[in-house]
Amino acid sequence: MAGSNIHELYKILDCLTGDKRKHKLPESCSDSKLANDFVYFFDNKIKNIISTFVSDSSHMVMSEQTSDIKLSEFRIVSELTVSEMIKKAKPTYSAIDPMPFKLFNRNKRFRRECGKRAFANSAPRLYNNLPSFVRAAETAALFKKRLKTHRFTESYNLLNEEMRPSFRL
């Protein structure tokens, strides 16, 4: 089959694209040589692009070199393993990125001062933190009643033991 011979794959690709020119695709004696040629080409391309930038620190921020995590085979990976891999990876961004990281990392003060947007940001979290009996209310009036009861109970439980007798339940 064509999967074992790289030249057969190139011929099939030429037939599918309708191009009958010879030597359209790179010649290579083995898959590993072809892969190494691609790596060499793109490595040189990246070095040329980097050399065109001004080496002034105000224009370019060099990030720490991170170690790539390579998986030698496909296998089932647990969520814990994936989260550990993400924690080990360091963010790679610089001042010349087209979408600066600052746009995604807005501070809490900005969100708090935006009025409705601040509530829209915090409302889902507040709702999800409510107990299930409050969230399971069938009507808005019942929801308000249960919410008030829940908030009062929370406040009452925070009072000192000496102050509790002065409040009625």
**H helix and E strand count, the chain:** 7, 0
Amino acid, single-letter form, for residue 13? L
- The string of pLDDT tens digits covering residues 125-164 is 888 888 888 988 899 899 999 999 988 888 877 777 776 6
116 touches 129 (CB < 8 A) = no
Place 1 in a pLDDT band, splitting at 50, 70 and 90: very low
For the chain, how are helix, strand and coil distributed in percent, rounded to 5? 55, 0, 45
pTM value?
Answer: 0.29
- The string of pLDDT tens digits covering residues 11-55 is 777 776 666 655 555 565 677 777 777 778 888 888 877 777 655
- The string of pLDDT tens digits covering residues 3-16 is 456 777 777 777 76
Of 105, 102, 154, nearest to 126 by C-alpha is 154
Of 118, 116, 148, nearest to 130 by C-alpha is 148
